[in-house]
Amino acid sequence: MARRALPEQIEFTGADTGRALAALDELVAASAGWANLYPEVEEDDARAVTPSAVASWFRVPGPPIPQATFIAPTDGRRGRTPAQVGLTHGVGATVVPRLAEQGLPLPEGWAVVQDHLRRGLVVRLDDPPDTMAVLGWSLRAIEALCPIPVTGGWLAEVHRG
């Protein structure tokens, strides 16, 4: 039985997204894989937003620190499945209206698949996806939904194939 390769870890900043953008482009070209995008936050700040065990019973599930997942488009027996981007968050409400109010409406050609207070946001992207727009929008959306300041550092965890 073949083992799945470990994901590639790419550290980058919002001002220098080149390697992360190239990885997303490679996923699109291969029509396979996904990448998780995580913001860097100060450890002390992150501890402050982590709920206690008792509090977690009463709060809406979802990570207190948002993350995004880009899923490459795929070609299969049923045709082409467009790329998607998802955001998990602990906001406790739908986020498309909130992001639009903060100047982050969905770009033209993107369509909401799900905007759920517990399961998060899933958006179907244009085909082929504009990976620069996807990466830029995702980073800004994470910053807008994050309950604590992000440092400007990011991690892309790239799963190929």
- Which residues contact residue 2 at a Cβ distance below 8 angstroms, ignoring those fewer than 6 apart? none
Q: How many domains does the chain have?
A: 1
Laid out side by side, the sheet with 67-71 consists of 8-13, 150-159, 34-41, 67-71, 84-88, 120-124, 111-116
Q: Stretch 126-155: mean pLDDT, rounded?
A: 95
pLDDT digits (tens, 9 = 90+) for 57-98: 445 555 689 999 999 999 988 899 999 999 999 888 889 999
pLDDT at 90: 87
pLDDT band at 3 (very low <50, low <70, confident <90, very high): low
Residue numbers of the domain that contains 137: 8-159
d(CA 51, CA 34): 29
Share of the chain above pLDDT 70, in %: 85
pLDDT digits (tens, 9 = 90+) for 129-140: 999 999 999 999
Q: Stretch 2-13: mean pLDDT, rounded?
A: 87
- Please report whether residue 153 resides in a domain: yes
- Please report whether residue 3 resides in a domain: no
pLDDT at 63: 62
pLDDT digits (tens, 9 = 90+) for 47-59: 555 554 444 444 5
Q: Stretch 9-38: mean pLDDT, rounded?
A: 97
144, 104 in Cβ contact below 8 A?
A: yes
- Please report whether residue 2 resides in a domain: no
